[in-house]
Amino acid sequence: GAVVSQHPSRVICKSGTSVKIECRSLDFQATTMFWYRQFPKQSLMLMATSNEGSKATYEQGVEKDKFLINHASLTLSTLTVTSAHPEDSSFYICSAVWTGTNTQYFGPGTRLTVL
């Protein structure tokens, strides 16, 4: 149990295009999901908190118009990187909180490369 999937696992795109990343909790409901970035050999940096049915909460310094988050259901949150640029290249990881357990389970991550 407690599996979180992300799609795609790897994406390469041209500068200026938008990329959508999906995060799904496969066998549990998650009212809350989190989106993180991980730079090489560094820890995870929280980008935003995604709550089902409401607007996401962004961390300081994260542009909400650039990183659009939609938490459409109790099992799905999406992150759209709009007008991507090379500096957006990173490893994006989501986690889902199993409702009622206080425990976060992580997706496998999405490697975004912007050319």
Partner 1 sequence: AQSVSQHNHHVILSEAASLELGCNYSYGGTVNLFWYVQYPGQHLQLLLKYFSGDPLVKGIKGFEAEFIKSKFSFNLRKPSVQWSDTAEYFCAVIKSGNTPLVFGKGTRLSVIA
Residues 46, 92: contact at Cβ < 8 Å? no
Closer residue to partner 1 (CB): 78 or 110:
110
Distance CA 115, CA 108 (A): 23
Half-sphere exposure of 50 (CA within 13 A, CB side): 30
| Residue 106 binding partner 1, by CB under 8 A | yes
Binding segment toward partner 1, per CB under 8 A, in 11-19, 40-48, 65-73, 78-86: 40-48
Candidates 20, 22, 29, 31: give the one binding partner 1 (CB under 8 A): 31
Distance CA 97, CA 32 (A): 6
Distance CA 110, CA 20 (A): 10
In one letter, which amino acid is 8?
P
| Residue 104 binding partner 1, by CB under 8 A | yes
| Residue 43 binding partner 1, by CB under 8 A | yes
| Residue 102 binding partner 1, by CB under 8 A | yes
SS3 29: coil
CB of 87 to partner 1, least distance (A): 22
CB of 22 to partner 1, least distance (A): 15
Question: Contact positions toward partner 1, by CB under 8 A?
Answer: 31-32, 34, 42-44, 46, 49, 51, 93, 95, 97, 102-109
